[in-house]
């Protein structure tokens, strides 16, 4: 599970240990789909009013066409990530490195950030 209650996050940081499945609705047409679930681990905490910070690790593999033979191959991937989430309309909203969520939202969903 990668959705977190915003009120709880404002009071206390939480450990993240979840995954995004290859058949999750977050994936869009044209995305390089993962060959297996993408594992997401780390810490999600408040970073001031209406802002949240995730520091952690993504690990998985994607199925992509081989550049030489065009057959599908599984490519492992893993990365340490640091993500900032802010309400739409916040000062940071124009920053392409900030993931936005709707003001008044009750849940912060990390899946869109994982997709990127």
Query: Where do the domains of the chain lie?
Result: 3-27+37-59+79-115
Mapped to the 3 state alphabet, what secondary structure does the chain carry? CCEEEHHHHHHCCEEEEEEECCCCCCCCCCCCCECCCEEEEEEEEECCCCEEEEEEEEEEEEEEECCCCCCEEEEEEEEEEEEEEEECCCHHHHCCCEEEECCCCCEEECHHHHHC
What pLDDT score does 59 carry? 97
| Whether the predicted pLDDT of 116 surpasses 90 | no
- Whole-model pTM: value is 0.85
- Per-residue pLDDT at 53 exceeds 90: yes
């Amino acid at each position: 599970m990668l959705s977190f209650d915003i009120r709880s996050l404002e009071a206390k940081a939480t450990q993240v240990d979840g995954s995004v499945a290859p058949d999750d609705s977050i994936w869009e047409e044209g995305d390089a789909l993962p060959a297996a679930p993408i594992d997401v681990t780390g810490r999600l905490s408040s970073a001031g009013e209406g802002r949240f910070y995730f520091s952690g690790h993504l690990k998985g593999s994607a199925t992509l066409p081989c550049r030489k033979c065009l057959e599908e191959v599984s490519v492992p991937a893993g990365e340490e990530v640091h993500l900032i989430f802010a309400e739409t309309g916040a000062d940071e909203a124009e920053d392409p490195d900030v993931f936005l969520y709707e003001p008044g939202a009750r849940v912060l969903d990390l899946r869109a950030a994982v997709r990127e």
